[in-house]
Amino acid sequence: MLSFVRCSRIRPTTLLYRGIRTSPRLFSETPDLLRFGNYDLVLSENPTAVGVSHIAKNIVPDHIKLPPYVGDTAYQRKAGDSFVQLSSKEEVDALRRATRLARRTLELARDLIKVGSTTASIDQVLHNFIVRNGAYPSPLQYYGFPKSCCTSVNNVLVHGIPDNRPLEDGDIVNVDVTVFLDGYHGDCSETFAVGDVDDLGRHLIETSKIALAAGISACGPGRPFKGIGAAISQAVQLRGCSVNESCNGHGIGTEFHRTPWILHHKNDEPGVMKSGHCFTIEPVIVQGDDSRGWMLPDGWTLLTESWARSAQAEHTVLITDTGVDVLTADVA
């Protein structure tokens, strides 16, 4: 479980007493934390706990089809690095079903984000919804991940593990959902405001949406993959934020994560998009100009090094003959 310290009251001695491994910037720039707004910092109550084997895993009914990596931690290495490109109407239709369910699941999460709710309870509701619709929650048991979605609060960059800490007024929380339905994965995420979020927090959430839209606008057949990162970087910089460079989008389809790898910052990666390419765009946006992160010993939870807040928005997109189809766009 994670513990939280009010940003305006944080003291380095408190963190040392708790045994937290801190960013080297914390002690030299503690007063500057106030420029990021009023929110709770996410810290580990048990920073020496390694891995996630001590966390109870969600249970999936026997009739649900499992992705091949469940129970096989070497699967990703054995499966190779094949490029995701869909070539038939049947493949695209199956992917559309998975992405529609992912979007419906994320919309359900929106309704659950309230002061006093726990991310563990939200995860359980989403888990039940996914399996009730005949799908498998893709994050569950992916390299041992114990829960069915990722919930990243405030200064958590990505891969926050749902827990029993109640959401508080002023939090922001990213919910990242992926479902595996009829052999295909659909992936999307959004950052939500909890109660009365300050102006800086709302600016950050809006920036994550603008960044995603900028990345999508750079997509189309024959266009370079590196254009996605260039467009995102420009949009984010204009709004006084930065893009984390260690988190990237990925090809998706029958595989959860495959090439093409989508970089969200300025880069010189080669390659152009072709009709049938399917991938996620999911920039992780951080307040200020330092987007670096550091990992908790659980091997999943990535925190901002500057202790600033982070927000993310994500879509699964399909390159078509004439442009780009946002498969996880809002559903009626």
321 is in an annotated binding site: no
Tell me how far apart the alpha carbons of residues 136 and 140 are, in angstroms, rounded to a whole number: 8
314 is in an annotated binding site: yes
282 is in an annotated binding site: yes
3-state helix, strand, coil in the chain (%, to 5): 30, 25, 45
187 is in an annotated binding site: yes
Tell me how far apart the alpha carbons of residues 128 and 125 are, in angstroms, rounded to a whole number: 5
Query: Of 240, 217, 220, 239, whose CA–CA distance to 230 is shortest?
Result: 217
250 is in an annotated binding site: yes
Query: Of 263, 282, 268, whose CA–CA distance to 326 is shortest?
Result: 282
40 is in an annotated binding site: no
What is the DSSP code (8-state) at residue 266?
S
Q: Which residue has the tokens 């929380």?
A: 173
Angle (deg, nearest 10), helices 89-112 and 119-132:
140
9, burial (CB in 10 Å: exposed 0-12, middle 13-18, buried 19+): exposed
Alpha helices (runs of H) in 198-321, residue ranges in sequence order: 199-217, 226-237
CB 212 within 8 A of CB 315: yes
Start-to-end Cα distance in the chain: 36
What is the DSSP code (8-state) at residue 41?
E
Question: In DSSP terms, which residues pair with 6 in a beta bridge?
Answer: 40
Cβ neighbours of 74 (radius 10 Å):
8
What does each C-alpha distance from 130 to 108, 196, 244 come to in angstroms? Answer: 11, 30, 30
Question: In DSSP terms, which residues pair with 173 in a beta bridge?
Answer: 153, 192
72 is in an annotated binding site: no
Residue ranges for the binding site?
159, 176, 187, 250, 257, 282, 314
Residue ranges for the binding site for substrate?
159, 257
Residue ranges for the binding site for a divalent metal cation?
176, 187, 250, 282, 314
